[in-house]
């Protein structure tokens, strides 16, 4: 045996015995990384919180697997890429998963099989799901060593296509499929997951968004009464109910939300559009004169060694010619109770004109900074959702019952929380 393979990795004691990993063979597993997840979960405690949220009606005399053990098994397997409950049966004898779930890897009893896991997923009641949501939030709070100065609430929904008769799945014309439209809420500065809420496949109304925000913000205020909260989302969530609810809170909740570009708003931005068009025309003329001079020099020197490839040159030129200007004004929509600050970005390029609007109750911050730095920063949330869906397959919501699919979504969220810790 070479010196490189004589490495021993010690772990926390298990059932009064020392636990270590080495490279000497024996009963093998291809999922040794699950032991690292066990160490992380021991510190995070999300499985214990989830187990405390569930009521176990079974007779302990005839129970081989506790809810906590089954939750740990299922969450660890999801985090390791085994998102299908059918994977539980072949993995119930895996020594690494047995050790991670608190059983001796060789002589310990096997883990739960697929039928046991499926019964657990389908047994969840709505009251238990509310407690699991609180447990997920408590895990988020516990991840901070000290009280944060501010919390940036990133809110967005995503389409999870379904292929069966799942309860409350609806046809969504925008996504052209039957789907759920779960709501994801992250802390935008750290990327930490706060909660995931399973929803029918329709766009959320203002009242529905407010009902969810009440729970999340209320929980934040109970933990951190003085923390500054900023809500950030796209036009799906820019409803008058959301604006007014945020403004009524004490202390107030700041928001930066996308706003659909109506004809009225575009007309208000007409002056800044004309300025952008004029500036774009001037840049085009300067570029044409510069191009003519360079062409004359090349003809005289008959050398093209300094030319860039055509595609790269065009990309650079397009970016140089593009014009972006900002304006702001007070706008009072028919459904609003008062005028609000609207920021408009006008962009003119070779592709044409482009309007973008946001509405905010921030009053003393530069419009360009609000749009470019704060609002556009929400694009990172798309990557968080992609990780949640693609790496952990959290869009696999194949249970018939709506509550069972919400339960499964929570398990994937717990696996996500462990993976980013």
- Rounded Cα distance between 68 and 81, Å, is 20
The beta strand positions in 117-216, using DSSP E, are 150-157, 160-161, 170-172, 177-180, 183-187, 192-197
- In three-state secondary structure terms, 355 is strand
Q: By three-state DSSP, how is residue 84 classified? A: coil
Would you call 292 helix, strand, or coil by DSSP? helix
- Alpha-carbon distances, residue 11 vs 36, 100, 285, 421 (angstroms): 9, 11, 69, 18
Instruction: Please report which confidence band the pLDDT of residue 2 belongs to, taking 50, 70 and 90 as the band edges.
Output: very low
Using pLDDT thresholds of 50, 70 and 90, give the confidence band for residue 107: confident
Distance CA 24, CA 396 (A): 38
With cut-offs at 50, 70 and 90, classify the pLDDT of residue 300.
confident
Percent of the chain whose pLDDT exceeds 90:
72
- Residue 1 is predicted with a pLDDT of 36
**Per-residue model confidence (pLDDT) at position 13:** 85
Burial code (b: 16+ CB inside 10 Å, e: under 16) for 276-287 equals: beeebeebeeee
pLDDT at position 3:
45
Backbone angles phi, psi at 286, to 5 degrees: -60, -40
pLDDT interval class at 11 (50, 70, 90): confident
> To 10 degrees, what angle do helices 67-79 and 402-420 make?
60
Pairing relation of β-strands 9-14 and 170-172?
A: unpaired
50, 71 contact by CB (below 8 A):
yes
Compare 11 and 336 and report the one with higher pLDDT.
Answer: 336
The predicted structure's pLDDT at residue 350: 83
Predicted model pTM: 0.85
**Residue 175 contacts residue 139 (beta carbons within 8 Å):** no
What whole-number distance in Å separates Cα of residue 363 and Cα of residue 415?
Answer: 39
List domains and CATH numbers for the chain: 3-122 (no CATH), 130-257+380-400 (3.30.420)
- Looking at 31-40, 114-123, 320-329, which range is the least confident one? 320-329
Token duo for residue 254: 């700041």
Residue 267 has pLDDT above 80, yes or no: yes
* Contacting residues for 300 by C-beta, under 8 A, at least 6 apart: none
Burial 347-358 (b: 16+ CB within 10 A, else e): bbeeeeeeebbb
Q: Where are the beta strands (DSSP E) in 173-317?
A: 177-180, 183-187, 192-197, 228-233, 254-259
- The model's pLDDT over 165-221, given as tens digits with 9 standing for 90+, comes to 999 999 999 999 999 999 999 999 999 999 999 999 999 999 999 999 999 999 999
Residue 71, helix vs strand vs coil: helix
């Amino acid at each position: 045996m070479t010196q490189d393979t004589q490495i021993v990795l010690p772990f926390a004691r298990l059932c009064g015995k020392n636990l270590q990993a080495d490279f000497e063979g024996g009963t093998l597993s291809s999922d040794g990384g699950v032991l690292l997840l066990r160490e992380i979960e021991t510190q995070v405690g999300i499985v214990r919180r989830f187990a405390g949220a569930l009521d176990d009606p079974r007779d302990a005399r005839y129970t081989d697997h506790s809810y906590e053990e089954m939750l740990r098994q299922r969450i660890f397997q999801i985090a390791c890429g085994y998102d299908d409950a059918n994977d539980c049966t072949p993995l119930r004898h895996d020594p690494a998963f047995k050790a991670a779930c608190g059983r001796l890897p060789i002589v310990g009893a096997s883990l739960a099989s697929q039928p046991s896991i499926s019964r657990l997923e389908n047994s969840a009641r709505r009251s238990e799901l509310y407690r699991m949501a609180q447990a997920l939030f408590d895990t988020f709070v516990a991840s901070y060593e000290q009280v944060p100065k501010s919390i940036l609430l990133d809110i967005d929904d995503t389409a999870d296509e379904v292929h069966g008769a799942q309860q409350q799945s609806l046809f969504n014309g925008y996504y052209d499929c039957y789907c759920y439209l779960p709501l994801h809420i992250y802390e935008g500065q750290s990327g930490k997951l706060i909660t995931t809420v399973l929803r029918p496949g329709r766009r959320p109304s203002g009242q529905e968004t407010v009902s969810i925000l009440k729970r999340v913000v209320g929980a934040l205020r109970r933990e951190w009464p003085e923390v500054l909260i900023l809500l950030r989302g796209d036009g799906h969530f820019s409803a008058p109910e959301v604006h007014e609810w945020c403004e009524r809170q004490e202390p107030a909740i700041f928001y930066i939300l996308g706003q659909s570009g109506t004809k009225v708003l575009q007309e208000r931005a007409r002056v800044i559009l004309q300025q952008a068009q004029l500036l774009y025309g001037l840049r085009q003329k300067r570029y044409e004169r510069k191009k003519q001079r360079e062409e004359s020099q090349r003809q005289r020197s008959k050398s093209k060694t300094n030319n860039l490839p055509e595609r790269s040159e065009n990309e650079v030129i397009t970016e140089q010619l593009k014009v972006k200007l900002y304006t702001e004004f007070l706008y009072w929509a028919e459904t609003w109770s008062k005028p609000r600050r609207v920021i408009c970005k006008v962009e003119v390029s070779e592709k044409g004109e482009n309007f973008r609007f946001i509405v905010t109750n921030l009053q003393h911050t530069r419009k360009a900074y609000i749009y470019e730095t704060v609002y556009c920063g929400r694009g990172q949330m798309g990557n968080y959702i992609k990780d949640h869906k693609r790496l952990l397959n959290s869009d696999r919501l194949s249970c018939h019952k709506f509550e069972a699919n919400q339960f499964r979504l929570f398990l994937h969220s717990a696996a996500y929380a462990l993976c980013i810790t």
